[in-house]
């Protein structure tokens, strides 16, 4: 199918966007158009992510108007791009590519990323550099127009299904750890990339460890300047925390809705103590949901800030406390977990599963996307303006650090 681009002036209001959606639906009836063709047409019409530039799936419109497009298309029964399956690409890789990528990189990666044709993963954390990501040891050595990468990454969700990865590696060991890091796009199908499953407490292996042995990455797949990877990575990390903790949800959406539903349907399980705890967590979940709406309003006028760290903190704590309450509410029934066999899902799935699964899987919420301890420091220093923790290794060359 021939590809066309949105060439008209950027949509400035909800009415113009609704008109464009109407034109899309008239030309590509969701009832008779196959899913891939419809999504391609939507991207090329600038209705994929409306705040992106024309030609890259957007119209340069205010970010807040994306909800108008999504609502109109959902009401018409149009297919979506299965955003949960490609969340790392949408929430982390895409905004980083948009901000730091060359025009060639944007044209190459953004369209298949949004369409879900290419899944992405994130090669950041390492066995010796989890909470202290800047201490990473994976090396990238320049060899002409290529970089040769050697190292190990860990806790990599979707690595077993991904075509591309966002990768940070050390390119200069002679400078302090936050410098001398460079950001790359890595082809997961290249020789030297080995993905091994990591079995979790749930029995699943939704994430992995990744070994990089002599992987050759062309310099054309570098994002940002050489040695400036830490600054580029901050864009990824701030968007990651918003993606994890700041998703839009209806009232009683997510974990609190599951527990509240059980409470209403199973009166024989109720006790006064559990009732008081449920009410308290319900209020906190609603406050977090409304705070998330406020955060999305801030996103509509600019890049995410450190407030996303606070939202991710709240998300992790609430998920763990609510899932713990659910197990107590169900008593012996809450201890059962039927699906303990080794499986390789693309992502964790909290719906349609046992309470025991939710309780175990939520333990990872305070680790993935930045540990709660690190995020507390970020909130204290970057939002509240409290004194920073002493950092004695800040100005020491990376090669001289104790490891």
Is residue 146 domain-shared with residue 254, that is, in the same domain?
no
Is residue 219 domain-shared with residue 242, that is, in the same domain?
no
Predicted confidence (pLDDT) per residue in 123-140, tens digit: 999 998 877 899 999 999
Is residue 223 domain-shared with residue 303, that is, in the same domain?
no
Residue 87 lies in a domain: no
pTM: 0.85
Predicted confidence (pLDDT) per residue in 281-308, tens digit: 999 999 988 887 777 666 655 556 677 7
Is residue 257 domain-shared with residue 373, that is, in the same domain?
yes
Residue 359 corresponds to which tokens in the numbers above? Answer: 């309780």
Q: What pLDDT is recorded for position 241? A: 62
Please work out, in degrees rounded to the nearest 5, the angle formed at the alpha carbon of residue 248 by the alpha carbons of 246 and 250: 130
Residue 32 lies in a domain: yes
CATH number at residue 285: 1.20.140.10
Is residue 319 domain-shared with residue 259, that is, in the same domain?
yes
Which residues are registered as beta bridge partners of 169? Answer: 182
Is residue 252 domain-shared with residue 379, that is, in the same domain?
yes
Q: What pLDDT is recorded for position 105? A: 98
Is residue 136 domain-shared with residue 33, that is, in the same domain?
no
What is the span of the domain harbouring residue 193?
Answer: 120-227
Residue 393 lies in a domain: no
Mean pLDDT of 184-205: 94
Residue 188 lies in a domain: yes
Is residue 240 domain-shared with residue 350, that is, in the same domain?
yes
Q: What pLDDT is recorded for position 402? A: 81
Q: What pLDDT is recorded for position 353? A: 79
Residue 308 lies in a domain: yes
User: Which of the residue ranges 18-27, 57-66, 97-106, 174-183 would you say has the lowest mean pLDDT?
Assistant: 57-66
Q: Name the average pLDDT for the chain.
A: 89
Q: What pLDDT is recorded for position 81? A: 96
Predicted confidence (pLDDT) per residue in 245-279, tens digit: 555 677 888 889 999 999 999 999 999 999 999 99
Mean pLDDT of 201-224: 94
Q: What pLDDT is recorded for position 309? A: 77
Higher pLDDT, 329 or 202: 329
Residue 44 lies in a domain: yes
Q: What pLDDT is recorded for position 299? A: 62
| Boundary (domain end) residue, out of 28, 49, 80 | 80
Spatial CB neighbours of 169, under 8 Å, sequence gap ≥ 6: 136, 138, 139, 140, 147, 149, 151, 181, 182, 184, 229
Model confidence band, residue 377 (pLDDT cutoffs 50, 70, 90): confident
Is the pLDDT confidence value at 122 over 60?
A: yes
| Boundary (domain end) residue, out of 227, 257, 291 | 227
Is the pLDDT confidence value at 9 over 60?
A: no
Q: What pLDDT is recorded for position 341? A: 66
CATH number at residue 186: 2.40.110.10
Burial of 7 (0-12, 13-18, 19+ CB in 10 A): exposed
Is residue 187 domain-shared with residue 314, that is, in the same domain?
no
- Helix axes of 307-330 and 229-245: crossing angle, nearest 10 degrees: 40
Catalytic entry in 126, 206, 240, 307? 240
Q: What pLDDT is recorded for position 4? A: 45
Predicted confidence (pLDDT) per residue in 316-375, tens digit: 999 999 999 999 999 988 888 776 666 887 777 776 678 988 999 899 888 877 788 888
Residue 251 corresponds to which tokens in the numbers above? Answer: 């009232």
| Boundary (domain end) residue, out of 23, 54, 80 | 80
Is residue 35 domain-shared with residue 58, that is, in the same domain?
yes
Model confidence band, residue 1 (pLDDT cutoffs 50, 70, 90): very low
Which residues are registered as beta bridge partners of 139? Answer: 150, 170
Residue 102 lies in a domain: no
Is residue 268 domain-shared with residue 377, that is, in the same domain?
yes
Burial of 245 (0-12, 13-18, 19+ CB in 10 A): buried
Mean pLDDT of 172-181: 96
The DSSP annotation for 62-127 comes to -GGGHHHHHHHHHHTT-----TTTTHHIIIIIHHHHHHH--HHHHHHHHHHHHHTSS-EEEE--BT
368 a catalytic residue: no
Percent of the chain predicted with pLDDT > 70: 91
Integer Cα distance of 209 and 248 in angstroms: 30
Q: How many domains does the chain have?
A: 3
Residue 330 lies in a domain: yes
Is residue 46 domain-shared with residue 146, that is, in the same domain?
no
């Amino acid at each position: 199918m021939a590809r066309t681009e949105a060439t008209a002036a950027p949509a400035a209001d909800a009415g113009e966007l609704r008109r464009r959606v109407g034109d899309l639906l008239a030309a590509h009836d969701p009832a008779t158009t196959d899913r891939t063709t419809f999504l391609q047409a939507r991207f090329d019409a600038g209705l994929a992510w409306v705040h992106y530039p024309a030609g890259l799936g957007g119209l340069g419109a205010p970010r807040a108007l994306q909800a108008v497009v999504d609502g109109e298309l959902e009401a018409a029964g149009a297919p979506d791009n299965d955003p949960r399956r490609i969340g790392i690409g949408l929430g982390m890789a895409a905004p980083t590519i948009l901000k730091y990528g060359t025009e060639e990189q944007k044209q190459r990666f953004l369209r298949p990323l949004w369409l879900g044709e290419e899944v992405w993963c994130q090669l950041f954390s390492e066995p010796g550099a989890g909470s202290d990501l800047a201490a990473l040891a994976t090396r990238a050595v320049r060899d002409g127009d290529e970089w040769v990468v050697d190292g190990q990454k860990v806790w990599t969700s979707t690595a077993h299904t991904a075509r591309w990865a966002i990768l940070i590696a050390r390119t200069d060991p002679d400078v302090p750890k936050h410098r001398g890091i460079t950001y790359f796009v890595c082809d997961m199908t290249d020789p030297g990339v080995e993905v091994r499953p990591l079995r979790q407490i749930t029995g699943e292996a939704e994430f992995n460890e990744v070994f990089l042995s002599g992987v050759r990455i062309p310099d054309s797949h570098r994002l940002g300047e050489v040695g400036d990877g830490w600054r580029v990575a901050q864009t990824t990390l701030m968007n990651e925390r918003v993606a994890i903790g700041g998703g839009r949800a209806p009232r009683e959406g997510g974990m609190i809705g599951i527990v509240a539903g059980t409470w209403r349907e199973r009166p024989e399980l109720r006790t006064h103590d559990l009732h008081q705890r449920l009410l308290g967590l319900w209020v906190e979940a609603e406050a977090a949901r409304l705070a998330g709406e406020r955060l999305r309003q801030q996103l509509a006028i600019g890049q995410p800030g450190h407030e996303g760290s606070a939202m991710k903190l709240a998300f992790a704590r609430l998920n763990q406390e609510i899932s713990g309450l659910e197990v107590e509410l169900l008593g012996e029934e809450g201890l059962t977990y039927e699906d303990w066999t080794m499986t390789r899902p693309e992502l964790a799935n909290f719906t349609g599963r046992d309470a025991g699964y939710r309780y175990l899987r939520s333990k990872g919420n305070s680790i993935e996307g930045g540990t709660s301890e690190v995020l507390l420091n970020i909130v204290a220093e970057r939002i509240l303006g409290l004194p920073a923790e002493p950092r004695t290794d800040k100005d020491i060359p990376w090669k001289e650090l104790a490891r």
